[in-house]
C-alpha cells in the first residue's frame, strides 16, 4: 500500500537543554486517521529549509526527543513514514530557533536589614535577623551565620531567621548572610556587628 500521503500535521515543542552540548527539541506529529502498514517514522533536520542533513529513525512513536542542537541557530525539521513499499514525502516543515544560552556571571546581592550594624541586643532575647537576597536568575539557597556558625538555611523567602541571643553579657557577635544562585555563585552580605551590653 502506498504511503505517499501518510502523514498528518507536524507539531513542535521546545524543551530546556538536557545536555551541555546543545539544546534538545521535542518533535511530535499526527499519524493519519486510516494509516497503511507503517513500519516506522524518521525525523529529519538541517539548518536550511528543505535541506535535511540529519536523519534518525524513531520507531513507531509519534514523538521524538532530538538532541545535540547548537545554540543560536535556526533548524528546519520534518518527518517521514516508511514501510516495505518505500518512504512517504516529507511532512510539513517546522522551524525552531534555538536561543543563545544565558550566561550567569553575576553574584547574588545580599544585605542584612535587621538588626542594624552596631545595634545592642539583650541577652536571652529572640532577635529576628532579616536580609534581602536578589539575583538576576534567582536565589536557590540562603543562610545566616552568627560568628561563623550557621544559624539557619532557607531555599525560599522570607530570608529571615530567629536568633536566640546567648545568656552571657558584654559580648560581640558578627552576623553574615550568604546566598547561592543557580550557577553556584555565592554572594555575601557586609558583616553586621551587634553587642550584648
Q: Same domain for 82 and 122?
A: no
Number of domains the chain contains: 2
Q: Same domain for 146 and 168?
A: yes
What is the mean pLDDT of the segment spanning 67-89?
87
Q: Is residue 19 pLDDT above 50, yes or no?
A: no
Name the β-bridge partners of 160.
130
Q: Same domain for 137 and 84?
A: no
Tens of pLDDT, residue by residue over 119-154, are 999 999 999 999 999 998 889 999 999 999 999 999
Q: With b meaning 16 or more CB within 10 Å and e meaning fewer, what string describes 133-142?
A: bebeeebebb
Q: Same domain for 141 and 179?
A: yes
State the DSSP code for 108.
Answer: P
CA dist 180 and 101 (Å) reads 20
End-of-domain residue from the set 45, 73, 98: 98
| 19 domain-assigned | yes
pTM of the complete model: 0.54
Q: Same domain for 118 and 70?
A: no
Mean pLDDT of the chain: 85
Q: What is the pLDDT of residue 13?
A: 43
Q: Same domain for 90 and 139?
A: no
**What CATH number does the domain containing 144 carry?**
2.60.40.10
| 148 domain-assigned | yes
Query: H or E element: which one contains 83?
Result: strand 73-83
CA dihedral (3, 64, 90, 13) positive or negative: positive
| 75 domain-assigned | yes
| 171 domain-assigned | yes
Q: Which domain holds residue 50?
A: 10-98
pLDDT > 90 in the chain, percent: 52
Q: Same domain for 125 and 81?
A: no
Q: What is the pLDDT of residue 63?
A: 86
| 103 domain-assigned | no
Q: Same domain for 42 and 87?
A: yes
Q: What is the pLDDT of residue 147?
A: 95
**CA-closest candidate to residue 175, choices 163, 192, 190:** 192
End-of-domain residue from the set 47, 75, 98: 98
Q: Same domain for 115 and 85?
A: no
Q: Same domain for 127 and 67?
A: no
Q: Same domain for 94 and 121?
A: no
| 2 domain-assigned | no
User: Which residues 6+ apart lie within 8 Å of 41 measured at CB?
Assistant: 29, 57, 58, 59, 60, 61, 62, 64, 79, 80, 81, 82
Record the cell numbers describing residue 78, joined without a space. 520534518
Record the cell numbers describing residue 114, joined without a space. 535587621
| 3 domain-assigned | no
| 188 domain-assigned | yes
Extended beta strands in the chain, E state? 10-14, 23-29, 40-46, 54-59, 63-69, 73-83, 86-87, 94-98, 109-114, 126-134, 139-146, 149-154, 160-164, 171-181, 186-188, 192-196
Tens of pLDDT, residue by residue over 81-129, are 888 888 888 888 888 888 877 777 889 999 999 999 999 999 999 999 9
pLDDT band (50, 70, 90) for residue 159: very high
What is the mean pLDDT of the segment spanning 27-48?
83
pLDDT band (50, 70, 90) for residue 180: very high
Amino acid at each position: 500500500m502506498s504511503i505517499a500521503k501518510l502523514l498528518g500535521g507536524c507539531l513542535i515543542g521546545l524543551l530546556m537543554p538536557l545536555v551541555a552540548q546543545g539544546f534538545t527539541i521535542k518533535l511530535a506529529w499526527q499519524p493519519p486517521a486510516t494509516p497503511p502498514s507503517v513500519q516506522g517514522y524518521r525525523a529529519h533536520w538541517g539548518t536550511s529549509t528543505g535541506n535535511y542533513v540529519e536523519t534518525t529513525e524513531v520507531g513507531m512513536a509519534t514523538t521524538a526527543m532530538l538532541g545535540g542542537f547548537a545554540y543560536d541557530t535556526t533548524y528546519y525539521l520534518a518527518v517521514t513514514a516508511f514501510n516495505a513499499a518505500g518512504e512517504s514525502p516529507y511532512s510539513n516543515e517546522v522551524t525552531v530557533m534555538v536561543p543563545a544560552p544565558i550566561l550567569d556571571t553575576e553574584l547574588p546581592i545580599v544585605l542584612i536589614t535587621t538588626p542594624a550594624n552596631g545595634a545592642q541586643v539583650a541577652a536571652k532575647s529572640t532577635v529576628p535577623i532579616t536580609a534581602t537576597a536578589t539575583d538576576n536568575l534567582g536565589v536557590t539557597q540562603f543562610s545566616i551565620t552568627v560568628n561563623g556558625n550557621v544559624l539557619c538555611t532557607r531555599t525560599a523567602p522570607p530570608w529571615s531567621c530567629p536568633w536566640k541571643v546567648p545568656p552571657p553579657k558584654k559580648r560581640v557577635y558578627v552576623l553574615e548572610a550568604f546566598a547561592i544562585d543557580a550557577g553556584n555563585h555565592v554572594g555575601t552580605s557586609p558583616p553586621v556587628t551587634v553587642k550584648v551590653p
